[in-house]
Structure 1
């Protein structure tokens, strides 16, 4: 009998070690009895160090993370989990309980299959899809006229009209006021006006009128002579307007310009000369003025906060730059442009999952292009995988929290007030659960595990409610 047991033991060891899967056998308390010989490659521990130890202890040490055996002992049924090991492997682990006649668990056998290569292939495939989409976009772009200049991406007809106007106006010396919400790229367009003008080899001087204290405005714009006032530099100072001589002067946020400075600026524009503080002689200056604001200057004139004569002096060629939510066609091109820019800067190879791109196309972008650029830089720096998923987006997470709160507070009264039948209410709850899992999980397999359904059922339900599956 002892010889037969020894043969059975050898057979069992042979089966375990010949398997392509990593097999671990424990007793009913979670103590490891046997482990496959290649466990070091998978878990970073040789099988001899695993035998005799508790899976609960090994889970705390992140050797089994999480432990499928611990889950089986708790739930008393077959369990399947995804594990990430200390060696960087992605593992699909399945735990199967063995019961005695009294329905007590006497053994747990777990099979772990290394999915690292499959995960890598999946990521490579997603990256290839992203590249193909980019190449298709680039081919389409080459078929038309030039649509990307520096940080300006022009795809929609409205932006093309704006760009054509910029090119026409750039060749003249006419004063331009750029109008639009904060973050639409007014500074970029101001530089484009300068770079396409005959003054392009001369200085482009930019000043943000909202960033200068009122007390320093005059000295910053016009400069001062040595000893003009207490605390002044003994050598004097050249004003910003004088620095723009022969070039372009860009006054950003011009709606923040104090009224007393507006009077003096108007005089400079009329006479094309400046007088430094403490000086008695005026000096001729030749510059092209470009202004920008996110405020309604006409309304400010009616309120007495902006001079009417200066408004008409500035409003020679007003150019309105549309918000990003009104030029959805440009968002994908901007994403690719900024991704390329920051991948080069940080020497990374990040790319957007298709669902993340769809989420960006649906978002309203209150901060416009600046918000999009800052978001992409943040994601390139902080994302722990090459793929940027839609649940990495902060506005997706915020919406998810809001939606979760709404579901938690739903009640029968709400359904009754809306006149829903039982079937309608059940379908609405089911859809909410599917949407939540869709936002939280990266694959339909993860969704199935979270919801306690089969993967095939999840796919059918996603299709039923028209929720894009991954």
Structure 2
């Protein structure tokens, strides 16, 4: 077999075996050979392509733009994205072939079908958009759940409490909430009721420390008409009766006197109540939830709280940490109460970063109740839109002069123009941030600019030198 016949076989084998679409044109752009798989890409058979020029095929929209035509013009390798007659997208690469005299005698192009890849990319982008949407929806639902009735669950500790509440709510187990005053024990007690099978029935809240001892029995157990002087002529049901099929919440149960603890224990054990002055016993179906800011176990050791009542109440103890021990919740609660009171009083107040820092350093002895009251006070009483540290009741003069000077600062009179004045103000802000924060990331968050900008500006003004 002749050498030229062997080369012909080799070339034909390459064209037929290639996964890419190969088009060979002469030095004037006339198509000489094409690989057999071109039909699926360009929509024309081999014999229809051969003999036509690249320019003619471009005008017929077989491919657009023509990579062969570009190589003939630029006389170098060219790569373009083509759109074909069949609506496909292909990446076409063409290179020139020169003879010994430097004349271009051939243009060989290779094109790879990217239609499926483009479709995969579009599907991926669509899927990513859906995922972002679903994630935002999930986060919105999670945030709504975490802000129910003022409950904010940013911290891990409170999130664990919330999960425990979800687990115990469907049962009738007695729950006792332990924690300082103002941490929101009554809010969590209400949440258990709302998530229980008794949610459609009454939630009766009894502040055991607020009812006088002389009136406690009549308030709790009720009385029949004429039971005592000054009693309602028709009689009155007690709070325990009113909690029938619902929930009885005993707030500050540690304040109960010992003699009343015995009577309460009997009602909890038997679920029966007899009104004062009456003889008929009523069966009452209620769930007990209690709360206290006292150490009940210590009170039992001191003889101030009945041991049997303690064990009746201490079935599921849940401790709510004070606000000073969950600073993550503090930030979320600030935002929650600020939004709530802004909406209530039709304002648009915001907290300055220095104000937030002082609030984080404060011990919050009154816990969430103190924070809620403070946020309402700040929204009502502050004149400016921005709430500065000086508005805080626990703000000191030392911190006022050291942490925040901007409130009383004026633009420097020695500035000759606006640019110089702005430069001086920028330096003051940077110096203030440099005094207050340890890292450039914290400074960037305080100043509202990027960390790289902080580094650049500190170097520019020599503040960190």
Q: Same fold (TM over 0.5)?
A: yes
Question: 1:183-242 CA deviation, whole Å, 9 max, x = no partner?
Answer: 000010000000000000000000101111110000000001111111111111110000
Change (3 A) 1:460 1:356: closer
Kept in 1, the 8 Å contact 2:224–2:235? The answer is yes
Q: Which residue of 2 aligns with 1:184?
A: 183
**Where do 1:55-454 residues align within 5 Å?**
141-142=139-140, 146-396=145-395, 399-400=396-397, 403=398, 436-439=400-403, 441-442=405-406, 445-446=409-410
Kept in 2, the 8 Å contact 1:242–1:285? The answer is yes
The aligned length equals: 294
Kept in 2, the 8 Å contact 1:182–1:367? The answer is yes
Once residues 183 and 280 of structure 1 are traced to their aligned partners in structure 2, the CA distance between those partners, rounded to angstroms, is 40
Kept in 1, the 8 Å contact 2:323–2:330? The answer is yes
Kept in 2, the 8 Å contact 1:342–1:380? The answer is yes
- Deviation, 1:143, is 9.4
Once residues 207 and 366 of structure 1 are traced to their aligned partners in structure 2, the CA distance between those partners, rounded to angstroms, is 24
Question: 1:51-73 CA deviation, whole Å, 9 max, x = no partner?
Answer: xxxxxxxxxxxxxxxxxxxxxxx
- Deviation, 1:443, is 5.1
RMSD: 2.4
Kept in 2, the 8 Å contact 1:184–1:324? The answer is yes
Question: 1:407-439 CA deviation, whole Å, 9 max, x = no partner?
Answer: xxxxxxxxxxxxxxxxxxxxxxxxxxxx54245
Once residues 463 and 200 of structure 1 are traced to their aligned partners in structure 2, the CA distance between those partners, rounded to angstroms, is 51
Change (3 A) 1:327 1:140: farther
Once residues 278 and 256 of structure 1 are traced to their aligned partners in structure 2, the CA distance between those partners, rounded to angstroms, is 26
Kept in 1, the 8 Å contact 2:403–2:432? The answer is no
Once residues 204 and 273 of structure 1 are traced to their aligned partners in structure 2, the CA distance between those partners, rounded to angstroms, is 18
5+ residue gaps, structure 2, are 1-135, 414-423, 438-442, 448-465
- Deviation, 1:457, is 7.0
The secondary structure found in structure 2 opposite 1:290 is strand
Question: 1:358-406 CA deviation, whole Å, 9 max, x = no partner?
Answer: 222222211111110000001111111221112211111xx33xx4xxx
Kept in 2, the 8 Å contact 1:141–1:147? The answer is no
Once residues 194 and 221 of structure 1 are traced to their aligned partners in structure 2, the CA distance between those partners, rounded to angstroms, is 20
5+ residue gaps, structure 1, are 1-137, 404-434
Once residues 139 and 326 of structure 1 are traced to their aligned partners in structure 2, the CA distance between those partners, rounded to angstroms, is 30
Q: Which structure has the greater CA radius of gyration?
A: 2
- Deviation, 1:462, is 3.6
Report the TM-score when normalising by structure 1. Answer: 0.59
